[in-house]
Structure formats: structure tokens, C-alpha cells
Amino acid sequence: MAMNLLQIQNGHKSFATKELFKDITVSVNLGEHIGVVGANGTGKTTFFKILIGTNELDSGQVIRSKELKLGYLAQEDIWGKDETPETFLDGLEKPLWELKDLGNKLGLTDEMFSKPLNSLSGGYRMRAKLLYLIGENPNLLLLDEPTNYLDLESLLVLEEFLVNYEGAFLLITHDHEFLKKVTNVTIGFQNKKVDKISGNVDFYFEQKELQNDILEKQKFNQDKKKKQLKDFADKFGAKATKAKQAKSKLKQIDRMEDIEVPSSFVPKVTIKLPTPVRSGRFTFALDNVSFGYGDKTIISELSMNIERGDHIAVVGYNGAGKSTFLKGLASILKPQAGEFKVGQNNEISYFGQHVPEELNLKNSIIDELYEDLNSEITDQMVLDIAGALMFSGDDLNKKISVLSGGEKVRVSLAKILLRKSSCLLLDEPTNHLDFYTVAALANALKKYEGTVIFVSHDRKFVRDIAKKVLLVNNGKLELYPGTYEEYVWSLQKGILSNLGSKDIPASPNGAWVKKETRKPNNYKKKKELEKALKRAETQVKNCDKKINELNEKIQNEADINTKMGHIAELEKVYKVKDENEETWLKCQEELEELS
């Protein structure tokens, strides 16, 4: 049995009149990779602060093992004014060379290790904090939104690190796919309660919905029984011969413990964007354009047309020029060379990391949302977008000056979404959103009739929206020849590091493949892969059949212990299914390479 590192017993916490959670009991064991989920405001970050000791329970207790060595990813800067990453990381439990090696994989160059931390961007400072945390060699990590400001390449390195991490960690993140891949246990905050289930976030939601279905059926049967008993008491209560029986029926109702069905765990967040103004066919036309800062050119020789309705993801390493490209399109940066044209009747809205600095600090949230608002936008549209971005009721009257950085970001995003812009330029719009809101935003942008050009490290968000992929690399920007999924795959395989060299041509399916990987006489290998593919398909079908059978048993089983046994078996079947689906994908990819 795994060693218990810490636990909360009968914990209760409130802020002013708001009760976050009550009578919660939850534990963390060595080696558990735990995702912490729940809508914003349910107490997840407060829970972290209680665990590290910067906040206290109103009642209950936190029990910490003597073996516990806790590491917390701080959101604030924790270094001196002129400190460099190298001096910041020196003297920790893990050797500096090991941390620098991991830092290189996370995108921190040797040159950056000797620069003052305060001169680096927020994304690179976040990487330094992660390295510091790892260097302390804790057996329990607390990670609150560690993927903010990481590019996709660094996120994949962090993902691989956490999957193989031998210690325990608790993770809060808006990135659904990242959360799903690195965790095997889920703690959920809902209705002032906390529960813990073995399995990733998708399995957790399935079980919560399944439990709700069971409770709904039990409540339906209970309500039906109560009505029958009450009808009998009402009908025969006045008759002397039946009065005793009628009284007994009423007592029977009183003895029944009410069954409460919690609201769905997944908040119903919906974002509906206003219909954009009608623009000309072309949104942007670029002919041999260069963008940069001062005398320094970041991207050069850009020649392309972007059409109305294009949904384009811009990908590439941090520092490659993704944000520079968006700023150029937004006319924040003027072209250094070439001809740049904006299409007819185009209204462009830009969202970036520094946009919140433009908010009027004297305004309330609601006043800020109404500033420069299109006359066709109704009051209800404003309230709906504000509510989707977690502002409602009295919160709308808060002054911008008292908001946190994350709240200001959400106000800025709300303002942009309320415009009837024909083109949206979005640089990491999902930071500071929970993943329910991220999913709602993705759904809204997918249906958006205007042009969307965006940068995001959230893989599901990109897959849901992007119809085209632009790759920024070595100062150039070009249409990626494959799908976004193929781009991610190529990064995971680590073969983009030499992109642009002669021995790495683009394959027909868009993945980047070295010439020497293509071997002649692959007939035998192809036959073996086809057999493995068929076996995996059969296993997946068998698992689907077993999953349906177990779900039916769980719904119909009254004994709680038997029911939990079925749920445990269901988790194993899901694991087998996932493994076979992964095998199928791997075989399919290898077959495509051999064809």
C-alpha cells in the first residue's frame, strides 16, 4: 500500500459569507498523479494554499507525514533583482548540470541561463520556476496552471516529465488534454464537497454522470413510493378502520432519507459570438513582407493571401515570431519591407498578453464592456459573454483597478468577443480560463463566420478550431503541409529540431520524415503491421461491448460494494481499450510511412 503523504480530515473553509467546502476528507498518497478539477470559485487554489500552510481551515485538520517534502509552483517571482537562472538554480538538491539539461529541453538556451531573470519573458520565467521546483527534489508537487505561457514544444517536454515522475503531484490546469495525459487520479470540487476517484479526468466525469444517473433513478423511485404512501394516507386517514395504517404510512415517509441529485459536474457554459460585419474576400494580402522591431527582423519574405473565413493556427517555438506575426497583421508593427494590404471593410480585433494594460482602471467591469460597444449589441449579449467569462451579479460592479491579472485578461477577452469584428487575432486566449470556458470558446470560434488567426498551446482548442496551420521557423512562415495532428506527432517524435535541413523533406501526408527511414522491401513488415492493426481493432470492439455490459450492470446494481467492483473493472477495460487504440494508431502511422 502506498505511503500516505498528507490528508485533510473534516475540513471546512469559508470566505466572508461564501462557503467553499465543508466536512471534506481527502488524502494524497506517494506516487499519485492527481488532477484537481472544478468550476472557478469552488476552492481549488484555496485548497493548495491550505496544503502549503499559507491559509488555514476554519475547522478540521491537515495531517502531514514526516516523510512529506512539499514543492509549490509559486505564481509570484521568488528571486533577487539581478539573479540569473544559473545562480537561482545553483545549490539545490539536484545538480545544476541536470537542471540545465532539462532547461535546454524546455527551451532555455545556455545564453538565457546567464541573463537576469527579470529580463526574460513570462514564459521563460515560468520555466525557471519549474526547474527550481524540480531541483528541490520534493516527493509532492503542487502545480497551479504550470502550462501558462509555455509553447507546445515545452509543454510536451513537461508532459513527458510528469508522466514519468516517480513522486506525487496535484495539478490544476485549463488544458484538458494535458490533464488527461499526465494524471491517473482525480479530485473534484463540487457543491461544497470533494471526492476522489482513481482514473483521469475523462473517466472521472463519466463516473460522476453515471452516479448522477443512478441517483436520479433512485430519486424517481423514491418519489413514486412517497406519493403512493401519501395517497393512501390521504384517502384512508379519516377512516377509523384504516387510520392506524395511514399513520404508519406517513411515518414510513418520514423515515426515508431524502436523495439529493447534484447538478451536473460540468457547468453549462455557452458563448455565442455576434455575427461579424461582412468583409471583402481577402482579409490580408502580403507580398514579400518583413516584420520586426527596430533594425531587427524577426520574420521576412512573407507572401500570402488570407481569405475571409480562414481559421488559422500559428505554430512554432517560443521566440520564433508567432506573436510578431499577429502584431504585424494587427498593424501594431509596421512592415519593415514589402507590401501589406488589409482587405475591404475589415474590422480587426487583437488580443495579446499586454492588452489588459489598456483597460481603464477607473471603470467598473460592466462600464468597461460597454465602452465603444457596437450599437447592435444588446444588453443580454453583454451579460451572456460576461457570464461565460465568469463575471456576473455584483462582480460586474467591481473596479478594474482591484482585479487580479487573470481577471483583467478575461475582461479584455470579453470586450474583443463582443465586437462584430470580421477578423480576430488571438494570442494565447485560453490562459486564465477554466477548461469548461475553453471548450465553450472553442465551440464559438469554430462556428464563427469571420477570420480567426490564433496562437495557442492547447492542443484540443487548436484541433477544434484550425482549418489551416502556419508554421513559423527560422524567420520564415509557411503553410504546414499536413494537419495539426501530424505537426504534434512530428514534435513528439523529436524530428523537427533539424527542420529545414536537406535530409528532411515533407512527406505526402504532411509529417516530416528523414529520407533514411524509408527502406525498400517492406512487404513482410507491412503484413505484420496489418495483422497487429486487425488485432487491435478486434480488442477495441470487444472492450466497447464489455463497457456497455458493465455500464448496464452499474446502473441496475443496488449493492454499493458490488457496484464499486463493477466500476473498478470498468476502469481496467478503459485502460485496455486506450492501450489498443494507441497500438492501432502506432501501426497505422508505421504503415503510412512504409506505403
Instruction: Provide the CATH number for the domain around residue 452.
Output: 3.40.50.300
Q: Do 389 and 318 reside in the same domain of the chain? A: yes
Q: Do 474 and 527 reside in the same domain of the chain? A: no
Check if the beta carbon of residue 249 is closer than 8 Å to that of residue 229: yes
Instruction: Give 455's strand partners.
Output: 427
Q: Which three cell numbers stand for residue 200?
A: 483521469
Helix count and strand count (H, E) for the chain: 17, 18
Q: For residue 482, which phi and psi values (nearest 5 degrees)?
A: -130, -165
Which of 178, 204, 230 delimits the end of a domain? 204
The confidence score (pLDDT) of residue 507 equals 30
Between CA 246 and CA 243 the distance in angstroms is 5
Number of residues in the chain: 595
Between CA 173 and CA 180 the distance in angstroms is 10
Q: Which three cell numbers stand for residue 265?
A: 459536474
Neighbouring residues of 332: CB distance < 8 A, sequence distance ≥ 6: 350
Check if the beta carbon of residue 454 is closer than 8 Å to that of residue 425: yes
Instruction: Give a yes or no: residue 52 inside a domain.
Output: yes
The confidence score (pLDDT) of residue 519 equals 41
Between CA 259 and CA 18 the distance in angstroms is 24
pLDDT tens-digit profile, the chain (595 residues): 578 899 999 999 988 778 888 889 999 999 999 999 887 778 888 899 899 888 899 999 999 999 999 988 765 666 777 899 999 999 899 899 989 988 888 778 889 999 998 888 767 887 888 889 889 889 999 998 888 777 787 788 788 888 888 889 999 988 888 999 999 999 988 888 888 988 888 888 888 777 777 777 877 887 887 888 788 778 777 766 667 777 787 787 787 777 776 665 555 678 888 888 888 889 999 999 999 998 899 999 999 999 999 999 999 887 788 999 999 999 999 999 999 999 998 899 999 877 777 888 899 999 999 988 888 888 998 998 888 888 888 889 999 988 877 788 888 889 989 988 999 999 988 887 777 788 889 999 999 999 999 999 899 999 999 999 999 988 999 898 888 888 888 887 763 443 333 333 333 233 333 333 334 456 667 777 778 878 888 887 888 788 878 877 877 777 766 777 777 787 788 788 778 777 876 777 677 666 6
Q: Which three cell numbers stand for residue 176?
A: 484538458
Q: Do 371 and 348 reside in the same domain of the chain? A: yes
Residue of 506, 462, 508 whose CA lies nearest to 484? 462
Q: Do 109 and 221 reside in the same domain of the chain? A: no
Q: Do 320 and 456 reside in the same domain of the chain? A: yes
Neighbouring residues of 162: CB distance < 8 A, sequence distance ≥ 6: 33, 169, 171, 182
Q: Cβ-count burial of 516 within 10 angstroms (0-12 exposed, 13-18 middle, 19+ buried)?
A: exposed
Q: Do 343 and 465 reside in the same domain of the chain? A: yes
Q: Tell me, what DSSP letter sits at residue 266?
A: S
Which of 431, 457, 480 delimits the end of a domain? 480
Q: Do 357 and 447 reside in the same domain of the chain? A: yes
Which of 255, 273, 291 delimits the end of a domain? 255
Three-state DSSP class for 80? coil
Between CA 153 and CA 58 the distance in angstroms is 42
Instruction: Give a yes or no: residue 489 inside a domain.
Output: no
Q: How many of the other CB atoms lie within 10 Å of CB of 136?
A: 15
| Residue 396 identity (one-letter amino acid) | L
Instruction: Give a yes or no: residue 485 inside a domain.
Output: no
Give residue-wise pLDDT tens across range 394-451. Answer: 889 999 988 877 788 888 889 989 988 999 999 988 887 777 788 889 999 999 999 9
- pTM here? 0.67
Q: Which three cell numbers stand for residue 473?
A: 521557423
Between CA 57 and CA 237 the distance in angstroms is 51
Instruction: Give a yes or no: residue 138 inside a domain.
Output: yes
For residue 23, give its domain range: 4-204
Instruction: Give a yes or no: residue 310 inside a domain.
Output: yes
Between CA 22 and CA 16 the distance in angstroms is 14
Q: Do 313 and 367 reside in the same domain of the chain? A: yes
Q: Tell me, what DSSP letter sits at residue 54?
A: S
Instruction: Give a yes or no: residue 488 inside a domain.
Output: no
Instruction: Give a yes or no: residue 491 inside a domain.
Output: no
| Residue 473 identity (one-letter amino acid) | N
Check if the beta carbon of residue 259 is closer than 8 Å to that of residue 219: yes
Instruction: Give a yes or no: residue 29 inside a domain.
Output: yes
Instruction: Give 452's strand partners.
Output: 311, 424
Between CA 57 and CA 14 the distance in angstroms is 8
Number of domains, the chain? 4
Instruction: For CA atoms 240, 245, 247, 249, give the dihedral sign.
Output: negative
Q: Do 476 and 545 reside in the same domain of the chain? A: no
Between CA 183 and CA 8 the distance in angstroms is 21
Between CA 245 and CA 223 the distance in angstroms is 20
Q: Which three cell numbers stand for residue 97?
A: 548540470
Between CA 504 and CA 515 the distance in angstroms is 6
The DSSP string of 335-360 is -SEEEEEEPTT--EEEE-TTGGGGS-
Q: How many of the other CB atoms lie within 10 Å of CB of 137?
A: 12
Q: Cβ-count burial of 71 within 10 angstroms (0-12 exposed, 13-18 middle, 19+ buried)?
A: buried
Q: Tell me, what DSSP letter sits at residue 62?
A: E
Pairing relationship of beta strands 468-473 and 59-64 according to DSSP bridges: unpaired
Instruction: Report the side by side order of strands in the sheet with 193-198.
Output: 70-72, 140-144, 168-172, 33-37, 185-190, 193-198
Between CA 369 and CA 493 the distance in angstroms is 44
Check if the beta carbon of residue 85 is closer than 8 Å to that of residue 117: yes
Instruction: Report the side by side order of strands in the sheet with 4-15.
Output: 18-29, 4-15, 59-64
Q: Do 396 and 476 reside in the same domain of the chain? A: yes
Which residue pairs, CB below 8 angstroms and at least 24 apart, start in 296-305? 297/336, 297/475, 298/324, 298/475, 299/324, 299/325, 299/328, 299/472, 299/475, 299/476, 299/477, 300/337, 300/475, 300/476, 301/338, 301/476, 302/338, 302/477, 303/338, 304/477, 304/479
Distance from the first to the final alpha carbon of the chain: 48
Between CA 340 and CA 343 the distance in angstroms is 10
Q: How many of the other CB atoms lie within 10 Å of CB of 253?
A: 15
Q: Do 559 and 430 reside in the same domain of the chain? A: no
Pairing relationship of beta strands 468-473 and 311-315 according to DSSP bridges: parallel
Q: For residue 259, which phi and psi values (nearest 5 degrees)?
A: -95, 120
Q: Do 191 and 209 reside in the same domain of the chain? A: no
